[in-house]
Amino acid sequence: MHILITGAGGFLGSVALHHAVSLPGVSVTALRSGTQRLPLSVTTNEIFLDESSSLAHLTAALHPNTPSHILHIGALSSPEACEKDPFAAERSNVTVTKILCEYAGHIGAHITFVSTDLIFGATKAPVGGFKPEDPPSPSSVYSTTKLAAEKLVLESGRGAVARVSLIYGHSPSPAKGVLGWIERSFKEGTPVSLFHDEFRTPIHVQDVATALLSIARLKLLGRWHCGGPARLSRVEFGEKIAEALGYDATLIVPSSRQDPLIHPARPEDVSLDSSKLTQFTGCAPLDVTSALSSYRKWR
Ligand SMILES: NC(=O)c1ccc[n+]([C@@H]2O[C@H](COP(=O)([O-])OP(=O)(O)OC[C@H]3O[C@@H](n4cnc5c(N)ncnc54)[C@H](OP(=O)(O)O)[C@@H]3O)[C@@H](O)[C@H]2O)c1
């Protein structure tokens, strides 16, 4: 199994990369979009990929290490950055996915595309969370481009869409995700403003990597939800972090996603029902307390 991983220098990508190379019988080619070196202690090929890349470019650049699987993690992943520059969002999130789908078709590879729970932003999750077959309702440039990319992957018939919830945990990347900035504020003793009215199903980054590699290994098709087992508001999530890591929870300042200064609009509840993933892959994401306990030992 030879896997092409995009976004391998990012928060999730670098964890997926490390996880992939630790598996027996797996080799990896890592793609990055920028000049940043990969935070790696393993050998990979680093190939520049941007919106000007073509099928011919990819085919030539990756030959003879033609992948059997593609893990497409790279994206313009900040909703704020996408809102500021919709053209860049379209190029990074849709055009690059289109090229990778063409490439997957050309070489007969399976593709796993990392999407987001935010494709459900405009409507509130039902009790138990959104299921993969529920109708999407994107409410931002970021989520609209991710949904457009999902469509390309599904229409290609070559792979799976993994909709991931809020990701937290340790990554060797310089990007540290939501836990990184919350913990930094706690350490500095500065107030942490967190929404009391936005609900998601946070998932540990290692569990996401495991799920993605399982989806790829099993060559699953269609839509898959990858969320943690509990629906939490950002405030509840922050309280769990403070409790597990020994910080002062009174630093948390509850705020509202409905504050008119918040742009793009934040969803009320995009919690995911990920039971299908567990049923088909055996992956059972850790609850936040257990995941933070392993994070605490790592620190
Ligand atoms: N973090 C979350 O909570 C979360 C939740 C749900 C879904 N997701 C999705 O998970 C994936 C990873 O997110 P993340 O938090 O790890 O983001 P991240 O740290 O920003 O990493 C994204 C990576 O994508 C690469 N990239 C950007 N534009 C690209 C392009 N045109 N072609 C190829 N690669 C490109 C960047 O590479 P360079 O550094 O080389 O520019 C960057 O390393 C994204 O698809 C995101 O939408 C994230």
- Domains along the chain with CATH numbers: 2-170+202-229+271-287 (3.40.50.720)
Q: 113 C-alpha to center of ligand 1: Å? A: 11
Residues contacting residue 269 through CB under 8 Å, at least 6 positions apart: 124, 125, 198, 199, 200, 231
How far is it, in rounded angstroms, from Cα 139 to Cα 264? Answer: 8
Look at residue 187 in the predicted model and tell me its pLDDT.
Answer: 95
Q: 74 C-alpha to center of ligand 1: Å? A: 4
Look at residue 134 in the predicted model and tell me its pLDDT.
Answer: 98
Successive 10-residue mean pLDDT values, the chain, 299 residues: 90 94 90 57 57 79 89 95 95 92 96 98 94 96 98 97 97 90 96 96 98 98 98 98 96 93 89 98 96 85
For the packed helices 234-245 and 177-188, what is the interaxial angle rounded to 10 degrees?
60
Whether the CB of 13 sits within 6 Å of ligand 1: yes
Nearest-atom number in ligand 1 for the CA of 118 is 6
How far is it, in rounded angstroms, from Cα 115 to Cα 138? Answer: 12
Look at residue 294 in the predicted model and tell me its pLDDT.
Answer: 86
Are 45 and 65 spatial neighbours (Cβ–Cβ below 8 Å)?
Answer: yes
Look at residue 211 in the predicted model and tell me its pLDDT.
Answer: 98
Look at residue 167 in the predicted model and tell me its pLDDT.
Answer: 98
Residues contacting residue 182 through CB under 8 Å, at least 6 positions apart: 192, 194, 237, 238, 241
> What does pTM read for this prediction?
0.95
Whether the CB of 204 sits within 6 Å of ligand 1: no
Q: 127 C-alpha to center of ligand 1: Å? A: 29
Q: 242 C-alpha to center of ligand 1: Å? A: 27
Nearest-atom number in ligand 1 for the CA of 32 is 40
The CA distances from residue 288 to 22, 190, 206, in Å, are 24, 23, 12
Whether the CB of 5 sits within 6 Å of ligand 1: no
> What's the CA dihedral at 232, 235, 237, 238 to 10 degrees?
180
Nearest Cα residue to atom 43 of ligand 1: 10
- Please provide the DSSP assignment of 81-146 as one string: HHHH-HHHHIIIIIIHHHHHHHHHHHHT-EEEEEEEGGGGTTSPPPTT-B-TTSPP---SHHHHHH
Whether the CB of 6 sits within 6 Å of ligand 1: yes
β-pair partners for 242: none
Q: 89 C-alpha to center of ligand 1: Å? A: 11
Q: 205 C-alpha to center of ligand 1: Å? A: 13
Look at residue 45 in the predicted model and tell me its pLDDT.
Answer: 56
